[in-house]
Amino acid sequence: MIYLDGNSLGPLPKSVDSALSSMVTDQWGAHLIKGWNVDDWMGQPMRVGNMIGKLVGAPEGSITMGDTLSVKVYQALSAGVQMRPDRKVILSDSGNFPSDLYMAQGLIAQLDQGHELRVVEPDDVMDAITDEVAVVMITQVDYRSGAVHDMAAMTAKAQAAGAVMIWDLAHSAGAVPVDLAGCGCEFAVGCTYKYLNGGPGAPAFIYVRPYVIEDIKPALSGWLGHDAPFAFDLDYRPAMGIERMRVGTPPVLQLTALESALAVWDGVEMADVRAASVRLTELFISEVEARCPELTLFSPRDPAHRGSQVSFAHAEGYAVMQALIARDVIGDFRAPNLIRFGFTPLYIDDADVTGAVDVLADILDNRVWDDPKYMAKSRVT
Amino acid sequence: MIYLDGNSLGPLPKSVDSALSSMVTDQWGAHLIKGWNVDDWMGQPMRVGNMIGKLVGAPEGSITMGDTLSVKVYQALSAGVQMRPDRKVILSDSGNFPSDLYMAQGLIAQLDQGHELRVVEPDDVMDAITDEVAVVMITQVDYRSGAVHDMAAMTAKAQAAGAVMIWDLAHSAGAVPVDLAGCGCEFAVGCTYKYLNGGPGAPAFIYVRPYVIEDIKPALSGWLGHDAPFAFDLDYRPAMGIERMRVGTPPVLQLTALESALAVWDGVEMADVRAASVRLTELFISEVEARCPELTLFSPRDPAHRGSQVSFAHAEGYAVMQALIARDVIGDFRAPNLIRFGFTPLYIDDADVTGAVDVLADILDNRVWDDPKYMAKSRVT
């Protein structure tokens, strides 16, 4: 198998099975309820958050873990809107992952306070940042094209216009260098099952700039975000710092898999990962363009504007991807016509790239995709 | 060890370690992204929901899994409030688990539409159900005392008053017979790491009465609650049925542990579990009252009004529980002065009960608890 879908679900790190088995047997099985203390399950969301912080330029104690990315988007959006009560526009772009837009729509309908979700084309976001905008919510790396927004420039523009900046780092964390502290954004969120290899359903992360956290009244005011969860007060009082963004009981099994998966990043420099990623994507594009003339590059050609994935358009992209998968070259399809390939230098090398293009060229040259068994659509691709 | 804390965290079922290892290695490791289809990870929240449905009297397709109980409370509350736009009172009781109250407080502050959380004493709930009340939100079994509310009677009274009924089944599912369809409530939520033994951080469940689901506009409108998640439309359109209460990517590892844990309920009748539970709690109360005169029963004396746990009050309850734990009799402490014991007939028998009372009586008779090492407070107990 040549796995070019680590941008959708990272593979199983070697350490995870035994780490999980040990947690299940030696912690849950042996310590039962005492695991919350003796195995520090309660501290795991902060401990794992700090591991991710090192990969995205966040200071210690500014990231916590839990829930799903959609829920973390909701927390950030709700807080952002609350920070700008006189403004009614949430600005995003059509390249944002749909769930982020859906969560905004749900929040707006629920608040019923006249907010508007304004969705512009990715290239038009900068110009659309006006003094009407309460919150700018953007996914740094476009899930379809891999196009990268300039975090520093956009954050500066948003803040100059008086808006709050939320970055979704789903396709950034572990893929491109990110400097959260340096860019000065108020919020960032991300998932951990892509480039961070935390496994299906791995918990999300949320970063809040330390400067603003104490002013946030969490919409999802769960007990583990309480200042004293085990006092069982009847009234909510937010915890100091990022812990107030915790909600319910942390998913210890998923966090254990993730914590084990993150250990592979010890001693890895994101600059080195990025350099290798650029080399791989450049090689892939040049090979595909030389050998697959039916495909049209959909990703930015300039690697400085591209994340760690490459998409090509093909009218029968779905069938082409199914034919690739049948030959054990795994990428994915994104509607309406994109075949998408992720390049993850921790386990993909030049030989994988050229090997994948060999198969792709053969599928296109011989119209292998033009077969009913590849044309049929299934729900998950 | 005598484990009387299965009402806080259930023990590790024998099947879970290998089920999880198999999922990790043979599904995630071998199938990678294809696991969503070939291993039906995408269908797991509904499949597991149906297993729980059998234990709580819910029809097929009326329960889905995910997130934490606090998040599911929020979804139900938000929907309930929305169903009664002309009413402003959320009614609950002081025996509700604090996180449920906190989530209501967060929702009310966020909505800023003049809602009020009205918290009355448990015995006063029925009388407090008036035509001002939009939503009645009650945990069926009080987490401190084990006192049980009458679901059928309270739901009938709420609905006669025009209110929406939400039941939290955290201390009910797997502990007492529940008839969700029969009682006619609109919503129920619960966790799965207590009597259902799903492990620390196991996902929550939410039930919505089929009759009302199609009218609900989810506040947490995530992509996996969308009618066509993989169409990547820019606009949210809720899925048919209970699937609209899904939010983000399901926690496959946690769900796999839970699914394996739930298999032990095959062929188990809740009526038999309940009969055994009553026998165990009756035995425990009679033994403690005969041998530990310093303790005051805090739970209802009538087993018909008591769930599957028993609490006693003691001025130095914290230290007493620490001394018990040091002797491997595990219960837990709940502020301000309760020692709490859960009775779980799947793995606790009469000998455990009398064995626990032997240790408890010795600790009290000899003031073993009166030791600095037991008096110091730690965060999680």
Q: Are B247 and B64 in contact (CB under 8 A)?
A: no
* Cα–Cα nearest to A261, from A195, A172, A348, A207: A195
Say whether A207 is catalytic.
no
Interface size A-B, in CB pairs within 8 Å, comes to 280
- Assess if residue B122 is contained within a domain: yes
**pLDDT score recorded for residue A335:** 86
Quote the crossing angle between the two packed helices A252-262 and B252-262, to the nearest 10°.
140
Q: Are residues A216 and A273 in the same domain?
A: no
pLDDT of residue A239: 97
pLDDT digits (tens, 9 = 90+) for A314-327: 999 999 999 999 99
* A6-32 pLDDT, tens digit each: 999 999 999 999 999 999 999 999 999
Q: How is residue A357 written in tokens?
A: 């293009």
End-of-domain residue from the set A265, A284, A299 = A265
Interatomic CA distance for residues A216 and A64, integer angstroms: 15
Is A174 in contact with A194 (CB distance < 8 Å)? Answer: yes
Look up residue A227 and give its amino acid: D
- In sequence order, the 6+-apart residues with CB closer than 8 A to the CB of A54 are A265
Residues A233 and A341 in one domain: no
Question: Above 70 in pLDDT, residue A312?
Answer: yes
List, for residues A111-125, the tens digit of each pLDDT value.
Answer: 999 999 999 999 999
Chain B stretch 314-353, residues whose beta carbon is closer than 8 A to a beta carbon of chain A: 325, 330, 332, 334-335
Whether the CB of B374 is below 8 Å from some CB of chain A: the reply is no
Do A328 and A228 lie in one domain? The reply is: no
Q: Which of A3, A74, A97, A343 is catalytic?
A: A97
Q: Is A17 helix (H, G, I), strand (E, B) or coil?
A: helix
Q: Is residue A4 part of a domain?
A: no
In a domain, A380, yes or no: no
Q: For testing the chain B interface, which of A110, A215, A378 should be mutated: the one with the most B CBs within 10 Å? A: A110
Q: Which of B37, B191, B222 sits opposite A102 (nearest CB)?
A: B222
Best CA proximity match to B289, nearest among B366, B364, B370:
B364
B194 carries an active-site annotation? yes
CA distance B237 to chain A (A): 9
| Domain harbouring B275, CATH code | 3.90.1150.10
- What is the share, in percent, of chain A residues with pLDDT greater than 90? 97
Q: Is the pLDDT of residue B381 over 80?
A: no
For the segment B292-309, the average pLDDT, to the nearest whole number, is: 98
- pLDDT on residue A377: 67
Please state, in angstroms and rounded to a whole number, the distance separating the CA atoms of residues A198 and B101: 32
Q: Are B301 and B210 found together in one domain?
A: no
| Per-chain mean pLDDT for chain B | 96
Residues B317 and B258 in one domain: no
* Paired tokens of A17: 């099975």
Residue range of the domain that includes A167: 16-265
Q: Do B128 and B120 meet the contact criterion of CB atoms below 8 Å apart? A: yes
How many angstroms separate the CA of residue A40 from the nearest CA in chain B?
10
For chain A, state the CA radius of gyration: 21
Average pLDDT over residues B38-43: 97
Q: pLDDT tens across B144-169, in order?
A: 999 999 999 999 999 999 999 999 99
Six token digits for residue A192: 């951990």
Place of tokens 């995408």: B42
Region class of B158: left (phi > 0), else alpha (psi between -120 and 50), else beta: alpha
A11: in domain: no
Single out the residue in A230, A265, A300 at which a domain terminates. Answer: A265
Confidence of residue B356 (pLDDT cuts 50, 70, 90): very high
Residue A155 falls inside a structural domain? yes
- A143 and A164 both lie in a single domain: yes
Contact A24 B5 (CB under 8 A): no
Q: Looking at residue B380, what is its pLDDT?
A: 46
pLDDT (average), residues B200-228: 97
Residues B243 and B277 grouped into a single domain: no
Q: Which residues of B touch A247 (CB under 8 A)?
A: 68, 70-71
E strand or H helix at A164 = strand A164-168
> Active-site residue among B39, B168, B332, B352?
B168
A373: Cβ contacts below 8 Å, ≥ 6 apart? A322
Residues 52 through 71 of chain B touching chain A, CB cutoff 8 Å:
66-71
State the pLDDT at residue A166: 98
Q: Structural domain tally of chain A?
A: 2
Nearest residue of A to residue B200 by CA position?
Answer: A252
User: Could you tell me if residue B381 is inside a domain?
Assistant: no
Domain presence at residue A324? yes
Strands (E), chain B: 2-3, 63-66, 89-93, 116-120, 133-139, 164-168, 187-190, 204-208, 296-297, 309-313, 329-330, 332-334, 338-342
| Model pLDDT for residues B84-99, shown as the tens digit of each residue | 999 999 999 999 999 9
Residues B238 and B97 placed together within one structural domain of the fold: yes
Question: Is B379 in Cβ contact with A42 (below 8 Å)?
Answer: yes
Nearest CB partner across the interface for B248, out of A28, A68, A249: A68
Which residues, listed in sequence order, are joined to residue A117 by a DSSP beta bridge?
A90
User: CB B252 to CB A226 under 8 A?
Assistant: no
Q: Which secondary-structure segment (H or E) carries A165? A: strand A164-168
Say yes or no: A253 contacts chain B, CB-CB below 8 A: yes
In this predicted model, what pLDDT tens digit does every residue of A266-288 receive, in sequence order? 999 999 999 999 999 999 999 99
Instruction: List, in order, residues 6 or more apart from A4 with CB less than 8 Å away.
Output: A329, A330, A331, A341, A342, A343, A348, A352, A356
CA distance A171 to B124: 52
Comparing alpha-carbon positions, the chain A residue that sits nearest to B224 is A99
**Both A62 and A186 in a single domain?**
yes
Q: Are B36 and A235 a contacting pair at CB < 8 A? A: no
User: Is residue A232 flagged as an active site residue?
Assistant: no
Active-site residue, from B193, B205, B333, B341: B193
Run of H or E residues at A206: strand A204-208
Pick the closest to residue B50 from B176, B180, B215 (CA basis). B180
Categorize the per-residue pLDDT at B335 as very low, low, confident or very high, splitting at 50, 70 and 90.
Answer: confident
Which member of A78, A236, A251 has the closest CB to residue B251? A251
The pLDDT > 70 percentage for chain A reads 99
* CB spacing of A232 vs B335 below 8 angstroms: yes
Q: Are residues A166 and A286 in the same domain?
A: no
Question: Are A36 and B12 in contact (CB < 8 Å)?
Answer: no
- Summarize pLDDT for A291-308 with one digit per residue, the tens: 999 999 999 999 999 999
- Asked if residue A52 belongs to a domain, the reply is yes
Query: Which of B14, B99, B258 to probe by mutation at the A interface, max A CB count within 10 Å?
Result: B99
Residues A149 and A204 in one domain: yes
Question: How confident is the model over B216-265, as pLDDT tens digits?
Answer: 999 999 999 999 999 999 999 999 999 999 999 999 999 999 999 999 99
Say how far apart CA A6 and CA A143 lie, in whole Å: 13
Whole-angstrom CA distances from B138 to B88, B165, B202, B338 are: 17, 8, 22, 21
Q: Is A284 a catalytic residue?
A: no
Q: Residue B338 in contact with residue B317, Cβ under 8 Å? A: yes
Active site residue A97: yes
Chosen domain end from A234, A265, A296? A265
| CATH for A187 | 3.40.640.10
> For all residues of chain A together, what is the average pLDDT?
96
> Is the pLDDT reported for residue A381 higher than 70?
no
**Count of Cβ atoms closer than 10 Å to residue B346 Cβ:** 17
Report whether pLDDT(A358) > 50: yes
B82 and B197 part of one domain? yes
Burial A52-85 (b: 16+ CB within 10 A, else e): bbbbbbbeebbbbbbbbbbbbbbbbbbbbbbbbe
**Which of A72, A87, A194, A244 does the annotation list as catalytic?**
A194
Is B204 an interface residue toward A (CB < 8 Å)? Answer: yes
